[in-house]
Amino acid sequence: MQALSVPHSLINFTGSDFLIYDLNHLKGEFKKANINFLENEPMHRHTSFKIGGAADVFVNIGSKEEFTRVFSLCKEENVPVTILGKGSNLLVSDKGIEGVVLCLENLNKMTVSGERITVGAGANLAALCTFAANEGLSGLEFAFGIPGSVGGAVFMNAGAYGGEMKDVLESVTAVNSGGEIFTLFRDELCLSYRSSAFQKNGATVIEAVFKLKKGNTEEIKASMTEIMKRRKDKQPLEFPSAGSTFKRPEGYFAGTLIEQCGLKGFSVGGAQVSVKHAGFVINKGGATANDVLCLIKKVQETVSRKTGVTLEPEVIFIGRE
């Protein structure tokens, strides 16, 4: 499985199979530059699945300037880099992640100008929706309750309840694998179902601008409350997961197909097809990444055999294989 595929909560700039690098030397350079980092940081602390081995080195980025500085040092030392948002769409290997993980969660500043909101990629998507509502700006209600960061939502063109990021995005600022910062506007973002230009160009989202519409704050909040109620009623939010496990196959619903194939409640180790919504694989307790991968493979094979439909994972697998 990509392993499965790759969303913003992950961008691996350097596959390290054939790289030679000195991680201890890089850590020394970090110390000289007063860059705080953690060693052997368990990734289950940083993913909504609550699964994953340790990252060799983990850095919480505090600013765009620090991102550029840290990224440049990693590139100079030929050390593999993985970019992490809120880890809501990821399955991290039980063997952890090689090299350096750069977490953008602290890049979360939000500013408003008229009907536009500029927001850092690490901002929580729900926090952005609440911020917009408090400013009397409508258009992001559909996104309330979608887990994850703004950067991840842009990367995947996240959507729900009839709305998608492409409906409200005006521009995105990103950094490419060479460390250069650039901006793409709406027509350049190649936004389609769970897809964006960033899945092809290898760049990392660091900031986004949303163009919204004036609305009534109370009506906006009422809509958000209703959407969240629908989520809680239908989705297994009480268990760790990576959200919808599979993309919606054209003409079908993944959860319906899985349920029709008798897989609701099916388990491998601590991983289970949710009994509440078969489109979700959950960590019912103590699940490993291998449990989840085996369960996904079982679901894919069964649905393909019984219905002829190929299910494509939406969750992303990263880390050592």
CATH number for 143: 3.30.465.10
**Tally of domains in the chain:** 3
Instruction: Looking at the structure, tell me whether residues 207 and 153 fall in a common domain.
Output: yes
Residue 67 makes CB contacts below 8 A (sequence gap 6+) with 61, 102, 104, 107, 175, 206
CATH of the domain at 303: 3.90.78.10
Burial of 180 (0-12, 13-18, 19+ CB in 10 A): exposed
In a domain, 49, yes or no: yes
Check if 244 is active-site: yes
Question: Closest Cα to residue 117, out of 197, 196, 190, 214?
Answer: 214
In a domain, 226, yes or no: no
* Separation of alpha carbons 149 and 152, rounded Å: 5
Instruction: Looking at the structure, tell me whether residues 119 and 38 fall in a common domain.
Output: no
In a domain, 240, yes or no: no
Tell me which residue range forms the domain holding 172: 110-219
Boundary of a domain, candidates 170, 202, 219: 219
State both tokens at 225.
């409350």
In a domain, 237, yes or no: no
As beta bridge partners, residue 174 has 182, 205
For 146, 217, 230, 314, the CA distances from 161, given in Å and listed in that order, are 11, 19, 10, 17
In a domain, 12, yes or no: no
Instruction: Looking at the structure, tell me whether residues 97 and 141 fall in a common domain.
Output: no
Task: Name the pairing type of β-strands 271-273 and 267-268.
Answer: antiparallel
Q: What is the pLDDT of residue 280?
A: 96
* Separation of alpha carbons 192 and 172, rounded Å: 15
The string over 184-203, giving b where at least 16 C-beta atoms fall within 10 Å of a residue's C-beta and e elsewhere, is beeeebebeebbbbbbeeeb
Instruction: Looking at the structure, tell me whether residues 185 and 270 fall in a common domain.
Output: no
For 29, 181, 215, the CA distances from 82, given in Å and listed in that order, are 18, 17, 39
Choose, from 88, 195, 244, 274, the residue flagged as catalytic: 244
Q: Is the distance from CB of 317 to CB of 10 less than 8 angstroms? A: no
Instruction: Looking at the structure, tell me whether residues 85 and 118 fall in a common domain.
Output: no
Boundary of a domain, candidates 57, 76, 103: 103
Instruction: Looking at the structure, tell me whether residues 210 and 258 fall in a common domain.
Output: no
Residue 86 makes CB contacts below 8 A (sequence gap 6+) with 9, 46, 48, 105, 122, 124, 147, 148, 149, 152
Instruction: Looking at the structure, tell me whether residues 88 and 149 fall in a common domain.
Output: no
Burial of 276 (0-12, 13-18, 19+ CB in 10 A): middle
Boundary of a domain, candidates 219, 240, 264: 219
In a domain, 6, yes or no: no
Check if 314 is active-site: yes
Q: What is the pLDDT along the chain (321 residues), one digit of tens a residue?
A: 333 333 333 334 444 445 688 999 999 999 999 999 999 999 999 999 999 999 999 999 988 889 989 999 999 999 999 999 888 889 999 999 999 999 999 999 999 999 999 999 999 999 999 999 999 999 999 999 888 899 989 998 988 888 999 999 999 999 887 778 899 999 999 999 888 999 888 888 999 999 999 999 999 999 999 999 988 899 999 999 998 999 999 999 999 999 999 999 999 999 999 999 999 999 999 999 999 999 999 999 999 999 999 999 999 899 998
Instruction: Looking at the structure, tell me whether residues 122 and 144 fall in a common domain.
Output: yes
CATH of the domain at 38: 3.30.43.10
Choose, from 194, 195, 196, 207, the residue flagged as catalytic: 194
Model-level pTM?
0.84
Instruction: Looking at the structure, tell me whether residues 259 and 161 fall in a common domain.
Output: no
In a domain, 238, yes or no: no
In a domain, 184, yes or no: yes
Instruction: Looking at the structure, tell me whether residues 119 and 212 fall in a common domain.
Output: yes
Instruction: Looking at the structure, tell me whether residues 179 and 126 fall in a common domain.
Output: yes
Choose, from 105, 135, 141, 314, the residue flagged as catalytic: 314
What secondary structure does DSSP assign to 219-254, as a single string? HHHHHHHHHHHHHHHHS-TTS-B-S-SBPPPTTS-H
Instruction: Looking at the structure, tell me whether residues 137 and 92 fall in a common domain.
Output: no
The string over 99-126, giving b where at least 16 C-beta atoms fall within 10 Å of a residue's C-beta and e elsewhere, is bbbbbbbebbebebeebebbbbbbbbbb
